[in-house]
Amino acid sequence: MKRIVILISGRGSNMQALLEANLPCQVAAVISNRADAQGLEIARMRGVETAVVSHKDYADRVAFDAALAAKIDAHQPDLIVLAGFMRILTAGFVERYTGRLINIHPSLLPAYPGIDTHQRALTDGTRIHGCTVHFVTPDLDHGPIIIQAAVPVLRDDTAQSLSARVLGEEHRIFPQAVRWLCRNQVWLDQTGRVASDRLEQPGAALISPGLE
C-alpha cells in the first residue's frame, strides 16, 4: 500500500476530507509549518502521526525546505499532498519530488493563481469559478492539472459564500485525485503531462446562469 504525507498550514478541512475518504493508501504523517494549525489536532484525534517544522526557525527558504524534506523523507512517502499548505516552496524542493507532489488550489487554474482567488473572481464578474488539483512544479500554481471542479458564481455571492461552495467541491475532488494516484490510474508522464486511464465525459457541462 502506498504511503502519503500531508502538509498543512491551518484549518485542515481538506486534510480531514482525505482522512475520512477511506483511501487505498496509508497516511504516514501530517506535517505543519505552524504549531497552531487546527488540522494538527484533527489528525491526532484520528491517530495520525503529526509533526511541526516551523518556517520561523529557519533563516531562509532553502534551510526551511531542507528541514521539511528531511522530515518528509523519514516517512518514505510515495506521494506528498499539499492540503492548504501556505508556504512557497523552492525549485530544489519541488524538483526532488517531481511526479509525487500535488496541491489543491481554490480556483480554476490557470485563472487566479496566488491568493484571494474568490474575491478576484467576484470582482471580475466571472460566472463560473472552482478548484483544481495539480502536480506541483517550480512555476507557482501552474503545474499539470489532474482534476477540476466548477461551481456557479451567484448574484448575491460574497467571497465567503463562494469560498464555501468551492470548498465543498475541494473535499470531493481531492480524495478522488489521491485515490487515482494511489491506484496508478493517473501519473505524470515523461513529457510532463498528466496521463490517465480514466474515461472522459464528453457533454458534461456547467452553464451558469442556466439556459432557459
Q: How far apart are CA 118 and CA 176, in angstroms?
A: 23
| Residue with nearest beta carbon to ligand GAR | 84
Q: How far apart are CA 113 and CA 139, in angstroms?
A: 10
Residue for cell digits 491517530? 47
Closer CB to ligand GAR, 13 or 137, in the complex? 13
Q: How far apart are CA 84 and CA 30, in angstroms?
A: 12
CA 33 to the chain's CA centroid:
16
C-alpha cell belonging to residue 37: 494549525
| Residue 75 annotated among the catalytic residues of the structure | no
- Catalytic residue of the set 55, 105, 118, 129: 105
Closer CB to ligand GAR, 15 or 188, in the complex? 15
**Residues composing the chain:** 212
Closer CB to ligand GAR, 124 or 197, in the complex? 124
C-alpha cell belonging to residue 86: 501556505
Q: How far apart are CA 2 and CA 109, in angstroms?
A: 28
Are 153 and 162 spatial neighbours (Cβ–Cβ below 8 Å)?
yes
Question: Which residues of the shown chain bind ligand GAR in the complex (CB under 6 A)?
Answer: 8, 10-14, 39, 83-84, 104-106, 167, 170
Residue 209 Cβ vs ligand GAR, minimum distance, rounded to whole Å:
25
Closer CB to ligand GAR, 68 or 74, in the complex? 68
Q: How far apart are CA 19 and CA 138, in angstroms?
A: 27
Active site residues: 105
